[in-house]
Copies of this chain bind each other. A is one copy, B any other.
Amino acid sequence: MTHKATEVTIVAEKVIQEQIVEIIERAGATGYTILEGSGKGQHARRTHERPSVAGDAFDIVKIEAILGDRAAAEQVADEVANTLFTHYSGIVYLEEVEILRRARFWR
Contact = CB atoms under 8 A, between A and B. Distances in A.
Contacts of A40: 21, 31-32
A32 B62 CA distance: 11
A20 interface: no
A93 B104 contact: no
A46 interface: no
B100 A81 contact: yes
Interface residues of A, number: 43
B11 A104 contact: no
Nearest to A17: B38
B62 A44 contact: no
A101 interface: yes
B92 A95 contact: no
Contacts of A101: 81, 85, 91-92
A30 B34 contact: no
Interface in A1-57: 2, 5, 7, 11, 21, 29-44
Given A78-B100, A101-B85, A43 B30 contact: yes
